[in-house]
Amino acid sequence: MTSYFPEHGDHRYGVTHYDLTLSYRVQANRLDGTARLTVSAAEPLSALDLDLGKFRVSGVTVDGGAARYSYGRGKLRVSLPRSLPAGARAGVEVRYSGSPVPVPSPWGGLGWEELTDGALVAGQPIGAPSWFPCNDRPDDKASYRISVTTASPYHVIANGVLVGKRRAGANTTWIYDQTEPMASYLASVQIGRYQLSDVAGTRLAYPARLATRVRRDFGRQGEMMELFTDLFGPYPFTGYTVVVADDDLDIPVEAQGMSIFGRNHVDGMRGFERLIAHELAHQWFGNSLTVACWRDIWLQEGFAAYAEWLWSEASGGPPAGAHAQRWHQRLALLPQDFVLADPGAAMLFDDRVYKRGALTLHALRRALGDEVFFRVLLAWTTERRHGSVTTQEFAGHVQRHTSRPAGPLLSSWLYGKPLPPMDPPPRL
């Protein structure tokens, strides 16, 4: 199966742990880093490729000894001092520095971005190499330790739990542990002059002047968490942080245990509440259950879009069926040339991935009935917790919960180009 991004990732090995020690100067946009990776060979291995953006590499070691390497065009090729047999592990350390720049893509720059006064990371799908050397494939999930030193007026937020904070002179070092396995594109660092507060168990970080709006707009997030916990199972990570950057962003961004919004997404009137629900749902669909390959992105975006409709239904807004009817009418007016389960790299974030994905789930809900449908969702998130998933696996999962063939219904929505009608599907 051809990868959408064949230039990213190396399937000959996996990474079990990243230890990132970073120092960042905000005004200069200067990043100095040491990355220590624990790699595990999937096959006999004499060299490995790491994805890394535009930096100066000052040295590489393997198990403490100097290693030969070459670096160019986004690839750091490391020669191992001795061949690793399949299943064996090695420690690879990379020292690097420079001014991080986003990775070019059809959707603009991805990864580390300078803000007016700070920085953020928006890594999906291939932005991780903009700030650390990695095996940049969504199915290679690892634990992380992220240490960031920067000027003390700035607050640093990264994935996982804050386990250390120490000030030395004008700088402060922040250390986070992310113990649950995480894909490289979900690794994130946010740096800004943030005020912190806790609302219904969620940590909020935001510019102080937006405090009233933020607390109002995110005021029902605790209720969302309760709903999604009932429907999708226990929240899959240790905590959840929402960052509101003091810049406008095109769209909110999910990271593991974290969501990032722009100041333009906060209006004090809950005008963007559907996006709050969408990003929270990604903690289950995308971050805990991560696609094994990008062609299956509907398993993340379609599920998060349907969670918007479920929140609307539960919170006094239009029911999911009304949203489905409206979006079916809209999608029916578009060219019928789209395959949901294989949209192509250029269409990865097309609106049809989101809305046809949600419609697929609604059609499945109507066919199974609510009791079985929500049992299917809960079993899916429970059985695949912190794992990698594919469309084929989801179809097999659905089939195990019904005695009738589910294939024809799913195939029409997932693999057929024409948009299936909204007529009631046959009961499964």
Bridge-based pairing of strands 388-389 and 290-291 is parallel
Helices (H) and strands (E) in the chain, counts: 9, 22
The sign of the dihedral angle between the CA atoms of 45, 46, 52, 58 is positive
Which entry of 279, 306, 308, 393 is annotated as an active-site residue? 279
Structure tokens at 328: 């079916």
Tell whether 278 is in a known binding site.
yes
Tell me if residue 180 is catalytic: no
Q: What residues contact residue 216 under an 8 Å CB cut-off, 6+ apart?
A: 268, 269, 270
∠ CA 115-191-108 to the nearest 5 degrees?
Answer: 40
> What 3-state class would DSSP assign to 256?
coil
Tell whether 282 is in a known binding site.
yes
Q: For 111-137, what is the HEC assignment?
A: EEEEECCEEEEECCCCCHHHCCCECCC
Q: Does residue 240 contact residue 255 with C-beta atoms inside 8 Å?
A: no
Q: How far is CA 208 from the centre of its chain?
A: 27
Question: For residue 83, with 0-12 CB atoms within 10 Å meaning exposed, 13-18 middle and 19 or more buried, which class applies?
Answer: exposed
**399 to 361, 382, 409: CA distances (angstroms):** 14, 17, 11
Residue 35 and residue 110: Cα distance in Å, rounded? Answer: 20
Ramachandran bin of 272, using left for φ above 0, alpha for ψ from -120 to 50, beta for the remaining angles? alpha
Tell whether 155 is in a known binding site.
no
Tell me if residue 223 is catalytic: no
Q: How far is CA 341 from the centre of its chain?
A: 19
Which entry of 13, 206, 354, 393 is annotated as an active-site residue? 354
Report which of 281, 327, 283, 276 is spatially closest to residue 304, judged by C-alpha positions: 281
Q: For 32-57, what is the HEC assignment?
A: EEEEEEEEEECCCEEEEEEECCCCEE
Structure tokens at 14: 């996996």
Bridge-based pairing of strands 171-182 and 111-115 is unpaired
DSSP one-letter code for 294: G
Residue 280 and residue 98: Cα distance in Å, rounded? Answer: 33
Catalytic residues: 279, 354
- Residue ranges for the known binding site are 278, 282, 301
Give the residue ranges of the annotated binding site for Zn(2+). Answer: 278, 282, 301
